[in-house]
A and B are shown apart, each in its own frame.
Chain A
């Protein structure tokens, strides 16, 4: 092969590798998965720029189809004024007429940049790398496991030199070429890029394209880097995956010289400028207009009404996660009595805890994935018996799975499965067992507990007027037979339930010594106040209280009010279920909501966070009169109590970022389901205990399934970027954004929308980027011709 292009230096290659790797979002394993922004590597780009990039590297769209916008325009939900306002945001080359005319047209289907594997026609590289990767990333499904101690590249090479499948697919002799590859992944990448004649300026785009062709496997490898960097280390899995994929390209081209002319002409397309197309710009405007329309309706939720309740001491203050699903329950609970107040706070309640359940080796990171654990806890009591039971269960499982012994297993126990089948079919036998009380281990010194308690209460804007009962309600979801169960748990708790964090916090706040320390810091908790941990089960919409965690004295002292609280919670659950039954398929009544959640055949046990569209950071009384349909994140925040705006800074840099990940995961799974969604659950095939394949083979599929965002007839999630509404002074918000360029980029590039509540309690200002604001109700007359 001729070398029109000189080989790249090791340094150049390292840089382009790093650029390509950081364009890939991490995918968390399903054991504890959290929502990830699929555009994480593109937050420095606008939506049209991202659309231009993704159409090249993945062949997918970055916005909903035109028909989605057309339907909303036809229904009058999106108006010409919204389009005009969106255009006024900076796109001068288009007119309202252009945009409205384009709505009726079908957007051209993007085709990704060619690869050798695609030109060859069988996607052989992707298929074979996927077959290897499913073994390499296996977390323990296969009894005869692939060796995974060595690096990805070395491991893959030892696989590829034996794999006969490509030979049967028409590439004889390819194993010898794999055997002849350079020893290290770095050298292999340099060699492959030179063989492929990739010009230096196109190399990182090519690398991005190759990584996208591997689907979820690239994201699973990116997760390893993410975790390593969180711990201050590094990981080369994804860089090695890139070398593997590039080596495949070069080797395949060498074996298929007939492809060379097609490949050379394809190369030019990698060097072409990546400017957004006219259609990309149109879609960007339509998206912006749709969000303006939603914001107009959202503005109606903020009534300049009198603050709810009185200044008198409430009987119950219930703190829930900011999760959109809490909104329905909070509204239901508040409706029980004027003596009930609710708060919203990130559901890990400020405790970054690594928790060890009974009998388990290794801890669960029950904290936001942006953070590292700072505390350790374990289930109270003796773990020995649980550990033996767990190991015996595993040995039995291996007996079931192993060759030869599987025959004995089937002959001995097969008939017992008749009972299991009948039980599951009749919906019996899914008892939800309460787990043991968690304890901090090693215990936290008293001063540290006081410090943590003061910080957390301050961050919750809960420093005075404590109720008799303060409920700390984490959330989780009990579902059955669901590979994606962890996606329904608390995102702030790393894909686990929030019960452990809630119980730990309640335990800290109930100690008399801690309360003395808090009083010294000016936070006076009345003696008769009891902190009670609870779990809000979002699949069944029920609240269970951990009353057994309280010591007897406390329990007895508050017995009467606790009974009252329990009955409020039960009634609120019933109301919330009735509200949700309407939108849940197959739930004709409130009573069926709980039953269907544990049905082993149910693919839509709940809607999760589908529908999320806004995040309100304000005192609850600003939204208390509104019915927000479980579509809004609510964070309690009172800027008047926030000296120096430290709490606001925390909110804007942590919960806001997490909610952007959630909203954009839903967005991505709707607009580009083939790339950022995981397909239909009907054919999901759990692989390695960590992800799903789409059917018999293929790449790992990440993101939300079709059943999570679609009801069989239409999308239940509207693909909107999240509107963040903050009740704080303009200057404070701008200053914080200025200090955090990555957060500012999210707003400046439109991945999040920022609005501000004014003194009157209504939306007053809109952030327009570059730390500047405009009045929210700015009127944009639709100018029909281009300016």
Chain B
């Protein structure tokens, strides 16, 4: 009980900070860092507490594995983002209200994470949408900012309505407002008649909230507001959909159809987002498409019912992306240094084939040696996708023009990266073993999804490793034009929204 109360204190501290900044701008300015650090410290204490004395289960706040991981993550990001803003927007007239809305948005995310019943969850979700909408309009005179806000409103509106529908279905189906009671019943196998459509609504809510393609325009234009907002959006807010699915994971595994849909939508967004990202010359835009892609990958993981890995992905991506966006002023140096390193040694088709074969062979050997053959096929397939990424690194080292010393170093990098993610995944699995459902037995649909994912990811991985050997082809150039324009999804949506406004 004490832990739950302490956990609730974290969003309350940030909500108080946010309200104070909006209502009494001069009062708290110099304390922003300290208040944010206090909230992060409290969140960390709560997580350590759960590690020591175990998860309390019910209570005023829902403390389970997902919230015990997410709470310090969001609070920590909040501390980073608010500290950054307190310097970068120190002298700007928009600075104080900006930080106020940021703090309120953080509080909302935390309440979503901690909510013990569906009504609180939905209200926090609604509140978050309101805060984010205001943050989009930090510079209301910018036409592009207004266009991005319009698109956000559409996505957030769909997500909020769908979530309301889903939660209503859950509450009526299971006869309780308590999230813990709902998921406990589902864990025991209870599948009420309302489950089908409410899960469909839940998937819709999660997908629209995650900025998946093609409804990603609001995310890829979010750099119309100050950088710390982008960092919070990409690292925290956009994860709300994934968190939602993890909270209700026990329900999802009861409906394999919803999982397959998620995997397909997610996998598509992962590939399209990644391809668009490859063509973007502007750093924040490239990072935004990277998020579209990573959120797609997250949905693919959830669709494959690899919930512990999805949780790991949320944490890993949030930390990386927050840093990448806040640090985006270094893009000039990064590009200059890359140019200074001279021409890139490009692998040819033979080398690429060897690199992929080598990577897959090592992976296969590892699976056999560590007796992982009995693992779920979903997990093994995901491992293949990740190893395809490592093959890209290996291929660069094996390229004809690469000196031996470089090849050795890249082999070392490849080994370190492989070891790191295997270790992290093992840790995530071990941590989650009794808290998140295991993947259900693979059905025909699962196998189809796996096959489709493996083929498409392999194609993209091989094709980009061979860049720029084929990119001068006229079809490739045309494709590049379309991809660089985000396949026009935003243009079409803008047109529709303009028409409906007119």
Residues on A facing B (Cβ under 8 Å): 30-31, 131, 134-135, 137-147, 158-159, 162-165, 168-169, 357, 359-362, 387-388, 390-399, 401-418, 420-422, 424-425, 481-483, 485-486, 585-586, 596, 599-604, 680-690, 693, 695-698, 711-713
**Which residues of chain B come closer than 8 Å to A712, judged between CB atoms?**
90-93
Asked whether B280 is an interface residue with its Cβ less than 8 Å from the other chain, the reply is yes
Flag if B326 contacts A142 (CB, 8 Å): no
Residue from the set B144, B275, B393 with the largest chain A CB neighbour count within 10 Å:
B393
Quick one: CB contact mask for B235-247 with A, threshold 8 Å, 1 for yes?
A: 0000000000000
Asked whether B50 is an interface residue with its Cβ less than 8 Å from the other chain, the reply is no
Q: Measured between alpha carbons, how far is A693 from B328 in the docked complex, in Å?
A: 13
Q: Nearest A residue to B463 by beta-carbon distance?
A: A403
Q: Nearest B residue to A356 by beta-carbon distance?
A: B340
Q: Measured between alpha carbons, how far is A683 from B87 in the docked complex, in Å?
A: 15
Pick the residue among A139, A147, A398, A411 that contacts B316 (CB under 8 A): A411
**Which residues of chain A come closer than 8 Å to B389, judged between CB atoms?**
399, 402, 404-409
**Which residues of chain A come closer than 8 Å to B406, judged between CB atoms?**
388, 391-392, 395
Q: Measured between alpha carbons, how far is A685 from B488 in the docked complex, in Å?
A: 21
Asked whether B122 is an interface residue with its Cβ less than 8 Å from the other chain, the reply is no
Q: Measured between alpha carbons, how far is A421 from B325 in the docked complex, in Å?
A: 11
Give the top 7 A-B pairs by smallest Cβ distance, nearest first: A414-B316, A689-B335, A408-B389, A712-B91, A403-B274, A405-B389, A361-B342
Pick the residue among B227, B387, B480 that contacts A146 (CB under 8 A): B480
Which residues of B from 268 to 305 have beta carbons under 8 Å from A? 270-271, 274-275, 277-286, 290, 293-294, 297
Write the nearest CB–CB distance from A228 to chain B, whole angstroms. 19
Asked whether B468 is an interface residue with its Cβ less than 8 Å from the other chain, the reply is yes
Flag if B488 contacts A164 (CB, 8 Å): yes
Which residues of B from 61 to 99 have beta carbons under 8 Å from A? 76-77, 79-80, 83-93
**Which residues of chain A come closer than 8 Å to B5, judged between CB atoms?**
none
Write the nearest CB–CB distance from B169 to chain A, whole angstroms. 33
Q: Nearest B residue to A163 by beta-carbon distance?
A: B481
Asked whether B353 is an interface residue with its Cβ less than 8 Å from the other chain, the reply is no
Q: Measured between alpha carbons, how far is A604 from B491 in the docked complex, in Å?
A: 36
**Which residues of chain A come closer than 8 Å to B465, judged between CB atoms?**
402
Write the nearest CB–CB distance from A479 to chain B, whole angstroms. 9
Flag if B286 contacts A142 (CB, 8 Å): yes
**Which residues of chain A come closer than 8 Å to B275, judged between CB atoms?**
144, 403
Pick the residue among B92, B220, B281 that contacts A142 (CB under 8 A): B281
Asked whether B224 is an interface residue with its Cβ less than 8 Å from the other chain, the reply is yes
Q: Measured between alpha carbons, how far is A680 from B316 in the docked complex, in Å?
A: 31
Q: 29 A-B contacts, Cβ less than 8 Å apart? A: A31-B336, A135-B281, A139-B335, A140-B335, A144-B279, A146-B480, A357-B340, A362-B339, A391-B342, A391-B406, A392-B409, A399-B393, A402-B278, A403-B274, A407-B389, A412-B420, A414-B319, A417-B319, A425-B80, A485-B333, A599-B87, A603-B88, A683-B226, A686-B329, A689-B331, A689-B332, A689-B335, A698-B144, A712-B91
Pick the residue among B340, B393, B472 that contacts A361 (CB under 8 A): B340
Contacts beyond the supplied A360-B341, A395-B396, A397-B338: 10 A-B pairs with Cβ under 8 Å: A141-B331, A357-B340, A404-B389, A404-B464, A411-B425, A425-B83, A483-B330, A682-B225, A693-B282, A712-B91
Write the nearest CB–CB distance from B326 to chain A, whole angstroms. 7
Write the nearest CB–CB distance from A127 to chain B, whole angstroms. 10
Q: Measured between alpha carbons, how far is A390 from B323 in the docked complex, in Å?
A: 22
Pick the residue among B142, B286, B326, B418 that contacts A601 (CB under 8 A): B326
Flag if B270 contacts A415 (CB, 8 Å): no
Write the nearest CB–CB distance from B452 to chain A, whole angstroms. 15
Write the nearest CB–CB distance from B494 to chain A, whole angstroms. 8
Flag if B281 contacts A688 (CB, 8 Å): yes
Flag if B93 contacts A686 (CB, 8 Å): no
Asked whether B322 is an interface residue with its Cβ less than 8 Å from the other chain, the reply is yes
**Which residues of chain B come closer than 8 Å to A681, judged between CB atoms?**
88
Q: Nearest B residue to A357 by beta-carbon distance?
A: B340
Flag if A586 contacts B90 (CB, 8 Å): yes
Q: Measured between alpha carbons, how far is A409 from B329 in the docked complex, in Å?
A: 21
Flag if A412 contacts B418 (CB, 8 Å): yes
Q: Measured between alpha carbons, how far is A603 from B85 in the docked complex, in Å?
A: 11
Given A412-B424, A421-B80, A696-B223: A403 and B271 interface contact (C-beta under 8 Å)? yes
Q: Nearest B residue to A697 by beta-carbon distance?
A: B144
